[in-house]
A and B are shown apart, each in its own frame.
Chain A
Amino acid sequence: MATSGSLIRVTGLKKYYNKGAIKALDDVTVDINRGDVMVVIGPSGSGKSTFLRSLNLLEAPTDGSIVFDGVDITKSHVKTAEGKTVRLNIDEHRQKMGMVFQHFNLFPHKTILENMTLAPIKVRHMSQAQAEEKALTLLERVGLKDRAGAYPIQLSGGQKQRVAIVRALAMEPEVMLFDEPTSALDPEMVGEVLDVMKGLAREGMTMVVVTHEMGFAREVGSRVLFMADGKLLEQGSPENIFSNPQHPRLQDFLSKVL
């Protein structure tokens, strides 16, 4: 698998509603390499979020394939190394893909620490002490160690999103998916969340980020995808996308947001 740097290979991904009348994703093909910080931009309703949510099958695609770590996770059955056909266990693959949502989706009935240790304990079978130690280390990193015993409602939006990020990191994922992580935040809290994401990018984490933060895309992105009407219209380095846009839709979009 390590032959190419490709971690996720998306081929011909389609997501149709109403018998193809609505094409949320229309034939999207893209390679996500290890260490990539891929930023997905585009007008609302362009299919950015649908694309991201398809990557860990929160949306079931109508057609196309998503090969993650050498396994096509859109198929219901896979061949093992011994050549046996077994049922694909999507939970195994989701463990390796951390996801951060626009609305945080912390578990309100659990403390911050419990939010972070639940999956490591129940899914990865870590001991509680081990999981808590790891969680506290991660919380310290985002400056929230002293809030470990608090409930999510006691935190600000920015703090919640930082917790959501380290909750996903606690599973030691191979890729982090961000679905408009700063869109639901008050403006003064956007920076603290972006800082955490920048830190992750510097450490070499593979990231796919759907965002309206063009500054982040330009500064941190290693590649930028532009989507509109469910199609991937243009991709390239941040310099190319922002300084030398080719597609008229992209030029139009940038003229409105920059």
Chain B
Amino acid sequence: MNVSKAGFEAVFQYSGMFKEGMLCTIYLSFFTVILGFVLALVLAVMRMSDIRPLRFLALDHQGRLREQGFLFALSRINPVSFIATVYVEIFRATPLLVQLFIVYQVLFHKDVINLPAVTVLGFVKLNRFLPGVVALALNSGAYVSEIIRAGIQSVEGGQTEAARSLGLTQGQNMRYIVLPQAIKNILPAIGNEFVTIIKESAVTFTIGVADLMAAVKAAQAGSFRILEPLLVVAALYFCLTFPTSKIIAHFERRMRRGDKR
């Protein structure tokens, strides 16, 4: 199999499809990142919550705190955190492709959620695009929530103690002290996740989203060239992910001001 100039010229016949495919991939990633991050924040807050409806069981009849036993175990149950934990573990332990098919073929089955066959943002088919975004976001949210949780817990306890001892409320402590430091700590991991989403969005091609991969398929079928469309799409994905990671690295450096001597 050889690469030829004529081959690339044949691919350029399909440049319009590649352009739309690229835009579609950008839209997919953009909406996934936003939806996924919101979901991740909710999951992280749920996991770190301290809601124990059976807490009263921890007190014995003399009003003292139990420290062991069945009732003590019951008193520690936090259903909100439990649900979030189960969600995260399931979504991290099953393939994205399976999740995508379940979302598309089950959740967005015409008997469950029937999306109209309309075109949005110029050329994007909503009934393919939206299930793709939802599946990617559900998956990404599970990963990002763990990143956020680890980031918040990575901030030293002494920071919170100092803030609270100055009279700052729990909310002010989060906003001014913990979160700025947590975000700095998790920025590299979040950046990685954004880049991963751009690349993983390629799987939505399997449910008929007209992204970059769909353009490859069309170009291959129309031009009878196999390699050139793939090289073009690889280059285009690189053009998306490389600047993204550079931009994030820039913000990372800006936030590291306090670490430099």
A residues apposed to B, CB below 8 Å: 18-19, 56, 58, 91-92, 94-95, 97-99, 101, 103, 105-110, 118-119, 122-124, 151-154, 164, 167-168, 171, 177
Contacts and interface: CB of A to CB of B under 8 A. Distances in A.
In this complex, the member of A92, A94, A98 whose beta carbon has the largest number of chain B beta carbons within 10 angstroms is A94
B168 A99 contact: no
A101 B168 contact: no
A168 B166 contact: yes
A99 B158 CA distance: 12
A211 B260 CA distance: 32
B258 A58 contact: no
A236 B106 CA distance: 77
Nearest to B256: A109
12 contacts: A91-B164, A91-B167, A94-B167, A95-B167, A98-B165, A101-B161, A107-B177, A109-B255, A119-B168, A122-B176, A123-B168, A171-B167
Nearest to A177: B165
B139 interface: no
Contact of B167 (A106, A107, A123): A123
Given A101-B158, A103-B158, A109 B258 contact: yes
A122 B161 contact: no
A109 B184 contact: yes
Given A101-B158, A110-B258, A151-B257, A94 B172 contact: no
Contacts of A18: 67
B206 interface: no
B259 interface: yes
Contacts of B65: 19
A91 B168 contact: yes
B181 interface: yes
Nearest to A99: B165
Given A105-B159, A108-B181, A151 B165 contact: no
A164 B163 CA distance: 12
Contacts of B162: 99, 101, 105-107, 164
Contacts of B68: 19
Nearest to B162: A105
A129 to B, nearest CB: 19
Contacts of B261: 153-154
B166 A94 contact: yes
A58 B164 contact: yes
Interface centre among A123, A164, A167, A168 (most CB of B within 10 A): A123
Nearest to A102: B158
Contact of B258 (A103, A118, A152, A167): A152
A8 to B, nearest CB: 15
